[in-house]
Amino acid sequence: MGYLRKNKKILLFASAFIFIFSIVVLWTFPSDESIKTATSEDASTLPGVTTLVSPTFTSAVMTTSPAKASTSTTASTLVKDSETTAIDEPTETTARSSKETNLQDASAPQCVDNTWRLAFEDNFQNGLDKWDLYDSPGHAGNGYRRPSALQTADGNLVITARQGTDGQTVSGGMSAKHTQKFGRYEARVRTEADPSGVTSGVVLTWPAGADGTPAGYPAGGENDFYETSEEPRDRNEFYTFIHMPDISNGPIRNVATGQTETILRHNSSATKWHHMAMEWQDNEIKIFRDGIYVGLATDPTVVPDVAHYLTLQLDAKNSNSMGSTVVRMYVDWVRIYERADC
């Protein structure tokens, strides 16, 4: 009898344990409905989930200085322009380090989408021999462009702007020795905020001919596919400006410069790394940001039709004092592709 009583106690204890364990499991395991809800709510944070937006470029009037490959209109004017196209920031899926980017790109095929063949590339690992460094007055006579403002560090080009001893801004810029008509131009770039409201970081193509000639500026157009402008100072948005050629028999929206301009506003911080790309063909220009198509200019009569070179600049857009502010523009790499059947 003692043996049976002992076994009954063991059986009762085991049954109670199993009952309690079952309740705990059922209580903590999520229902099918809750799983569906969580998946739906978190979808926007999953890698690779992005929203494609593809508006058409529109035109706006602005003032340009032929003395320099960039614009001089303030961003505040452009933001208020009802015809300016604004593009919201897509889900971030390209937050990779410079080293990771270069390692991946090193094994990339020479042809892209069976359309483009690599013609020029610089990862800024071996000096600046592929470039002509500026040593001249700055944009519209503001400050100076000096080779000393250009350096390479940790696989990046670093352009630095600061106030010189004479109170003038000293910054820098350079142009690629490679020239090409049409193609796909790419750069991975970011620009620091500027509390002084003086500087603008620009990645653009500029006509290779002499200014004032059919192959030069302004007849040859200008494609600023990344430009921060001097405002807003926190760089919480940036721009694409397509300065179209001076057309003697076409529409002129800016009589002062004889140019037409197309503006795209990117609602994304320029202080973050962005992979900017421009596909420039004989009848259109497409703009991409971080792998997302964001804008298009389709009027073939105002698309530049002469050879350009790529330029990288951190410009002083006005003569204001930078004080103790130091601003840097970083470029991880640039690439230029030409049309190819591959």
DSSP state of 90: P
Cβ(337)–Cβ(112) under 8 Å?
A: yes
- Label residue 11 by pLDDT band (50, 70, 90): low
Long-range contacts of 101-107 (CB under 8 A, 24+ apart): 101/188, 101/332, 101/333, 102/155, 102/332, 102/333, 105/333
Secondary structure E strands in the chain: 58-59, 85-88, 111-112, 116-122, 131-133, 136-137, 144-145, 150-153, 156-163, 169-180, 183-191, 199-207, 222-227, 238-244, 260-267, 274-280, 285-289, 292-297, 308-316, 327-339
Q: What's the pLDDT score for residue 317?
A: 95
Report which of 189, 284, 254, 285 is spatially closest to residue 228, judged by C-alpha positions: 189
| pLDDT, tens only, 153-212 | 999 999 999 999 999 999 999 999 999 999 999 999 999 999 999 999 999 999 999 998
Q: What's the pLDDT score for residue 94?
A: 34
| pLDDT, tens only, 81-127 | 223 445 554 433 333 333 333 323 433 445 666 689 999 999 999 99
Q: What's the pLDDT score for residue 342?
A: 60
Q: What's the pLDDT score for residue 195?
A: 97
Report which of 273, 342, 277 is spatially closest to residue 116, judged by C-alpha positions: 342
Q: Is the pLDDT of residue 244 over 50?
A: yes
Q: What's the pLDDT score for residue 167?
A: 94
Report which of 159, 162, 165 is spatially closest to residue 147, judged by C-alpha positions: 159
Top mean pLDDT of 4-8, 141-145, 338-342 is at 141-145
On the question of a cis peptide bond just before residue 300, with omega within 30 degrees of 0, the verdict is no
Amino acid of residue 160? T
Cα–Cα distance for residue pair 222/245, rounded to 1 Å: 8
Domain 49-339 adopts which CATH fold?
Answer: Jelly Rolls (2.60.120)
Contacts of 153 (CB under 8 A, 6+ apart): none
User: Mean pLDDT, to the nearest integer, of 135-141?
Assistant: 95
User: Mean pLDDT, to the nearest integer, of 145-150?
Assistant: 98
Contacts of 196 (CB under 8 A, 6+ apart): 233, 320, 321, 322, 323, 325, 327
On the question of a cis peptide bond just before residue 47, with omega within 30 degrees of 0, the verdict is no
| pLDDT, tens only, 97-108 | 333 333 234 334
Contacts of 94 (CB under 8 A, 6+ apart): 273, 275, 290, 291
Query: Phi and psi (nearest 5°) for 301?
Result: -75, -15
Q: What's the pLDDT score for residue 261?
A: 74
Q: What's the pLDDT score for residue 218?
A: 85
| pLDDT, tens only, 279-312 | 999 889 999 999 999 987 877 767 889 999 999 9
Contacts of 324 (CB under 8 A, 6+ apart): 163
Task: Give helix then strand counts, H and E, for the chain.
Answer: 4, 20
| pLDDT, tens only, 27-49 | 544 444 332 322 222 222 222 22
Return the number of other C-beta atoms located less than 10 Å from residue 164's C-beta: 13
| pLDDT, tens only, 254-282 | 555 555 678 899 999 999 999 999 999 98
Q: What's the pLDDT score for residue 54?
A: 28
Q: Is the pLDDT of residue 77 over 60?
A: no
